[in-house]
A and B are shown apart, each in its own frame.
Chain A
Amino acid sequence: MITVNHYLLLSAILFAIGTFGVLTRKNAIVIFMCIEVMLNSVNLTFIALSRHVGNMDGQIFVFFVMTVAAAEAAVGLALMIAFFRNKESIDTDDFNMLKW
C-alpha cells in the first residue's frame, strides 16, 4: 500500500537532486532545468498532501506554481539570450558584472 509518506520521500529525493544540480553546474540553462526539477518535487508534495488531507487547495497552489514557472521561464530565458548577446557565453562564472 502506497501511503503519503512514500510520495513525500520521493519528492524529498527529487528536491535534493535538484539542489545538487543547482549548486554544481555552471551552465545557466542546466541550472534553470534543475530549478524546474525542484519546483516539480514541490508540486508532487502539494498534490500528495492535498489528497491526504482531502482538500482541493493544494492542487490550486500547484496551478499557481505552474503559472509562476511559466513566467519565470519566459523572463529567465530572455535574460539568458540578452546575456549571451553581450558575452557570448552563459557560463555562470561570467555573470560577474554586478560584482563589486
Chain B
Amino acid sequence: MNNFIHSSLVTALARLLIFPGLLFAVPAAWFFLWVERKAVARMQGRIGPPFMQPFFDFVKLLGKNTPARNGVGGALMKAWPLIAVSAAAGAVGLLPVLPARGGFEGDLILLLALLEVPSMCIIAAGFSSRSIFGEIGSAREAVLSVSYNIVFLLAILSIAAAQHTFSLSALALLPPSFLRYLGITAILVCLPAKLHLNPFSLPNAEQEIYSGPLTEYAGPELALWELSHGLEWVAATGLVATLLAPAFAAWWISAPVFVALSFVIVLLLSIVAAATARLQIDTTVRFYWQCTLIFAVLAIATALFARWRG
C-alpha cells in the first residue's frame, strides 16, 4: 500500500513537472505563441517574428521594473497571475498523453475547473487594477465566458455522460463516434473565445480599450500573464488533441501524435484569427447563444440517445 502511494505520487509529480507538465509545457507554450504570431504574419504577407521571440519577450519582461503595489489590492494584483499560471500548468499536467499512467475517476471535472481559473483570474485582475479599461475588459471577459462556457461544458460533458465515465484516460481510449466528433466541433468553435483570439478578442481588444484587464500590469507580472496565456493554449489544444487522437498503446507514438495534433489545431485557430475581424460584444453573445447552442443541444440529445440504447 505504502509502495503504491509512493509510486503514484512519483507519477503525479512526473506528470506535473516533466511531461506533459512544466518541462514540456513551458517551451510548448512559447512555441505555440510563436506559431500563432508567425501564422498571422504569413497570412498577412509578412515574415513575422523570429523563432525565439516569445522567449525574448518573457526574459525581457522579467528584467523590467514593476510599480510598487500596496495593501490588499496590490497583493491581490500580484497573486492573480501566479494563480493563473499554476492552474494552467496543473491543467496541462492532467492531460492523458501517456495512456495507463496515472489519472483518476473525475479528473475531467478537475481539468475543466482548472481551465476556467485563468479566465476568472483575468476578470478579477481587471477589477482589482481599478483601471477603467481593465474594468471594461473584465466585464467583457465575464460576458464572453458566460456565453461560450454553456456550449463548451455541455459538449464535453455529453461526451463523458454517453460513456458513463469522467476519467480522461478512459475517454481518450474510446473508439471514435459521431457524438465525439460533434463534441470536438463544438469545443473548437469555443476555443477562439477561450483564447481571446479574433473574431472573439473582445476582452483584450487592443487600441480599443488599450490592453483590457492587463492594462495596469508591467514587468514580471505581465510575463506571467503571457506564460499563462501560452499554457492555456497548450491545455486547450491538448484537450482537443487527446479527444481527437486515436489510442496507441506505446507512449513513443502517442506523445508525438499529441504534439502534432496540437500544432495543427494551433495553426487552424491562428488562420481563423488572421482571416477575421473583431466582432461586437452583442454579436458575439448572439453567436454563442443562438448559433452554436445547436451543437450543445445535438450533443446532449445524442448522449441521451446513446444512454437509452446502451
Tell me whether A and B are bound partners: no
Residue positions of A touching B, CB distance < 8 A: none
